[in-house]
Every structure is written in C-alpha cells, then in structure tokens.
Amino acid sequence: MARLHTRRHGKAKSRKPTDSEAKAGADRQNVEDVIVAYAKQGIRPAMIGLKLKQEHEVGYLKPVLGKRLTVLLKEKGFRSEIPSDMLDLMRKAVNMRRHITANHNDVHNKTRLQRVESKIWRLGKYYRSAGRLPADWKYDPEQAALIIKQA
C-alpha cells in the first residue's frame, strides 16, 4: 500500500536477525546464569532484558534460550504474584495520585490517571480470566500504594 502523501510504497519488513545471527555471541548457560543473578538482585524482567541487550550484547533471548524470559524466570522460581506490566501501571497510578494530592488543579493529570486506571482494570480482567490473578482480585488504589511500597 502506498504512503498517504507520496506515491512510494515503503520498505516494511522484519528486522529481526536469523537464528544463527542471534546465537552468534551468546552461550545458553552463561545467559541463564546472568538472568538468575539479576533476578536475585530484585531486578524486574523488563530491566533484565535491557541489561542483557546493553551490557551483554544479547539481543533476542528466544533463539538463545529456546523460551521467553518470563518463562525462564517462572521455571527458576522468580515469578511474582502480580505480573510486571500490571505493577508498572500501578506504580504509575500511585505516583499520579501522589502528584494530584499536592496539585489539586492539575486537570490533565486527572485525565491521565483515569486512563491508566482503566488500563489496570482491563489488564486485571484479562489476568483473572487467564488465571494469573485470583478470581476475587480487585484494583484498590490504597492497596496498590502498599504493594508498590513493599516492592
């Protein structure tokens, strides 16, 4: 399909390396050891992936490990009760609520807080149906603040 304001078509294609390119500089056991060491330090899965890319030059983990990072962490016993993407959204909502208590007239932030909390509710519904959260789990801003403080 052509671009909107030109007659050119673009070059859309996958930029992921092939399996042999992805496995070139990485040894499976070393990568697993590094992941477990980072998990023991309490680093979140997203940050583990970033550190592997930047410091250890491991771009894609699935060709190297044969599985995804979260699956490996679950096998090693580092799975948290609440999924990491949900925790990130809850952290964002807690910070927004803290900001709103200090700045009552910030209307734009109130709107953004509603959007973030609606994402949390939608994700909660998905994770309850998938079995990752208990069936009676419900988002509560005060409980979220306590959970974020502990994490």
pLDDT over threshold 80, residue 128? yes
The overall pTM is greater than 0.85: no
Helix ranges (H only) for the chain are 19-22, 28-40, 45-55, 61-65, 69-76, 84-102, 107-130, 141-150
| CATH fold for the domain made of 84-150 | Helix Hairpins (1.10.287)
Tokens describing residue 21: 């390119």
- 48 pLDDT band, cuts 50/70/90, is very high
Residue-wise pLDDT for 2-22, tens only, equals 667 777 777 777 777 766 666
**Sequence-separated (6 or more) residues with CB below 8 Å from residue 80:** 87
Tokens describing residue 61: 């983990």
